[in-house]
Structure 1
Amino acid sequence: MDTVRNNTELVKTEEDLEALFNNHTQTKAFNHLPYLYSFTKSQYKTQLTVNNLLKRYTTEPTGLISSDNQGQLSAWYVLNSLGIYNVIPGSQQYIIGLPQFDKAVITLSNNKKFTILNSGASITRSNIYIQGLNLDKSGYTKLYLNYADIAKGGEFEVFTGTMPNKLFMQDLEKPTLKVVE
């Protein structure tokens, strides 16, 4: 993604760059692009990019940027607002992004609950970078949640701040590129 960002033939202005990265609203096949940073040494750029995309959606009549195609963009928005996204269909991994709420509770089919907390969101909306992670009150060292972690219920806490914590992010286990059959 940075290759595209730094390509002066493709990107001459900030508007060009935004058009390329925000193409997910026209071509749904690009919805996963912000999360590709999670597979690189620049994982923190996922939070920045997702946050910028989510800010474009509003409650105004023009707030849904493009055709929703059977709710696909709405589903993208909901998952990203929760701070998780399944980049690879068929994978059991949900890459961690940036929760938009102080607290979100998912009621599961087994009547258990999975709660996502973002401690930084209550302080300021400028806290867009992951500083730390806990799963069920214990330090969490992966850049993704497994579906099994969500399905059993529990609490996932994301600590956010205004500056990227590159040292913390580089030590997180990255997601894998494999589909479970």
Structure 2
Amino acid sequence: MKKILIVLLLCFNVFAVEKPHDLLKSISKDAINIGTGKKNDVYVFVDPMCKYSKRFIKKISENKMLQMLNSYHVFLYRLPKYESDRLIQYIYQSADKKKTLLDVMVRSKKINLDGFKATSKEYEITKRITKVAKKLKIKKRPYMISFQKDSGYCRVSEGIVECMEELDF
């Protein structure tokens, strides 16, 4: 009986795969939210120095209809070609993260980071986001994963992510 129990536990651990929706929910407290729409939850990974990320954030921040349809959960995740770590930490450390994000990415406000020191809280936030992004194999920015409300299925902007929670047995 003990052998069967051990085998079952091992099988459970082998097949226990973290689902994208669960991974994203684990960092949802770190999201900068734009919009309150009820149709889709869109999780977006952006680099504040990336011109394509800036275009995307500008589009969703200025389009009220998109915000009424969708809830955007924005995560700051560094592209290797940019040295945006300190800027990301600055945004996460600000009192109004959304305003600071929009100042930097939409209004092109220049931020003087001389003398800026991030706290351990911002390091932990970026570490959590990086861990999830690596598990999801995110390479490009902006990277989007869109879940229709009350559904386990998703659409992604790049690559393949298994979002078939409803079919899991």
Question: What is the TM-score when the length of structure 1 is the normalising length?
Answer: 0.27
Instruction: Kindly indicate whether structure 1 or structure 2 has the higher relative contact order, using CA contacts under 8 Å at least 6 residues apart.
Output: 2
**Structure with the larger helix share:** 2
Question: What is the TM-score when the length of structure 2 is the normalising length?
Answer: 0.28
**Structure with the larger strand share:** 1
